[in-house]
Amino acid sequence: MEEPSNPPSNLTSLLRQAAHQRLAVAGCLVLTLFLICAIFAPWLSPHDPAQLNLSARLLPPSAAHWFGTDELGRDVLSRTLYGARISLLVAVAVVSISLTLGSILGMLAGFYGGFTDTVVNIYLTNAFLSLPGILLAVAIVAFLGPSLANLILALALAGWVNYARLVRAQVLTVKQREYIQAARSMGASDLHLMVRHILPNILQPLLVQAAIGMAAAVLSEATLSFLGLGVQPPTATWGAMLNDARSHMFESPYLMFFPAIALALCVFSFNLIGDGLRDYLDPRTRLRQGL
């Protein structure tokens, strides 16, 4: 008698998924590298990123300074490593705040409809969408003053609308399903329905949007820092490094090359993870891939 085949183990299933999501795995590896650089920057950096050494200014890459030095003699490698801290901190903080705010407002608008939906979906979202997000962030930072906290607040206020609209659309669909009506008929409160029944069923698109939102937050932080509206000197950020490198673009191109590559790889890794999550969480894609 033929023995029944054993179901695939969790490790085997994970390896099969990784084989079909190679770009997402590559994105995770690159992002892990940036996390290591950000967490262990004080130990990985060969020099103090804010230390001035005018006698060693604009040195090309060498054994003493792998990425060279900038116009003030600061080590570019050290500043690039510390720049990862600011970028990842801003990405996590901005997405956490905007996701929370957008989810709450979108949930209320989609669940209750009527006047609440009109206020959130018509007045608030349209007011924030009337200006491009980066211009709104520039206006907020210019009004509040450049600092890390104000930068995070500005980017969060500029980005919550996307989450609110996504959550509202998902809630409008999910709240009509039978299990929601059954829970309501059993006396479940509105808060219980939203937290225990609706929210778990709309997490998939939120996770994808959050991953892509982190890429946008990193890019927006670099843009504001490039304009002088981000974290102020001597704190190292990739955007500020690119701004400092403008006047030496042709004589010392390495000043722009290394922070630009770091920024591009960080944004690219978040986008790869977002695409991988979208494919993994889509049942139709998993079925086509035999997962």
Could you tell me how far CA 10 lies from the centroid of its own chain? Answer: 29
Residue 79 belongs to a domain: yes
Please give the Cα distance from 114 to 107 (Å, whole number): 13
Residue 4 belongs to a domain: no
Please give the Cα distance from 168 to 151 (Å, whole number): 27
Q: What confidence tens digit (pLDDT) does each residue in 181-222 have?
A: 888 888 888 888 888 888 888 888 898 899 999 999 999 999
What does the pLDDT read at residue 152? 94
Residue 150 belongs to a domain: yes
What does the pLDDT read at residue 185? 84
What does the pLDDT read at residue 215? 93
3-state secondary structure 72-115: CCCEHHHHHHHHHHHHHHHHHHHHHHHHHHHHHHHHHHHHHCHH
Where are the alpha helices (H) located in 113-132, listed in sequence order?
A: 114-117, 125-129
Residue 211 belongs to a domain: yes
Domain count, the chain: 1
What does the pLDDT read at residue 38? 93
pLDDT < 70 stretches in the chain: 1-20, 282-291
Q: What confidence tens digit (pLDDT) does each residue in 220-263 have?
A: 999 999 988 888 888 899 999 999 898 888 888 999 999 999 99
Q: Which domain holds residue 126?
A: 23-42+67-282
CATH number at residue 218: 1.10.3720.10
Please give the Cα distance from 19 to 25 (Å, whole number): 9
